[in-house]
A and B are shown apart, each in its own frame.
Chain A
Amino acid sequence: MNEMIARWPERNPRLFLAVAALFWFGLYEALIPVSEALVAALPVDRNSHLGGALQFFFYDTPKVLMLLTGIVFLMGMINSHFTPERTRAMLAGRSEGTANVMAATLGVFTPFCSCSAVPLFIGFVQAGVPLGVTFSFLISAPMVNEVALTLLLGLFGWKVALLYLSLGLFIAIVAGWVIGRLKMEAYLEDWVRDMPKIQATAGDTSMPLYERINAGFSSVREIVGKVWPYILAGIAIGAGIHGYVPEDFMASFMGKEAWWSVPLAVLIGIPMYTNAAGIIPIVQALLAKGAALGTVLAFMMSVIALSLPEMVILRKVLKVRLIATFIGVVAVGILIVGYVFNSAL
Chain B
Amino acid sequence: MKDIKVLGTGCAKCKSTVAIIEQVASAKGVPVTLEKIEDMQQIVSYGVMSTPSVVIDGKVVHSGGIPSRDKVEEWLSA
Contact = CB atoms under 8 A, between A and B. Distances in A.
Interface of A: 83-85, 88, 111, 113, 115-116, 118-120, 122-124, 191, 195, 198, 218, 222, 313, 316-317
27 contacts: A111-B65, A113-B11, A113-B50, A113-B51, A115-B10, A115-B13, A115-B51, A116-B49, A116-B51, A118-B9, A118-B40, A118-B44, A119-B40, A119-B43, A119-B44, A119-B48, A119-B49, A119-B51, A120-B50, A122-B44, A123-B44, A123-B48, A124-B49, A218-B65, A313-B9, A316-B40, A317-B40
B64 to A, nearest CB: 7
Contact of A119 (B13, B50, B68): B50
Contacts of A115: 8-11, 13-14, 51
Which residue among A85, A116, A313 has the maximum number of chain B CB atoms within 10 Å of its CB? A116
Contacts of B48: 119, 123
Chain B interface residue number, banded:
10 to 19
B58 interface: no
Contacts of A119: 40, 43-44, 48-51
Contacts, number: 53
A113 B44 contact: no
A113 B9 CA distance: 12
A116 B53 CA distance: 10
Nearest to B11: A115
Interface of A is mostly: helix
B77 interface: no
Nearest to A112: B50
B49 A85 contact: yes
Given A84-B50, A123-B49, A195 B44 contact: yes
B51 A198 contact: no
Contact of B64 (A116, A118, A122): A116
A331 B51 CA distance: 28
Nearest to B16: A222
Contacts of B13: 113, 115
A84 B49 contact: yes
B47 interface: yes
Contacts of B68: 218
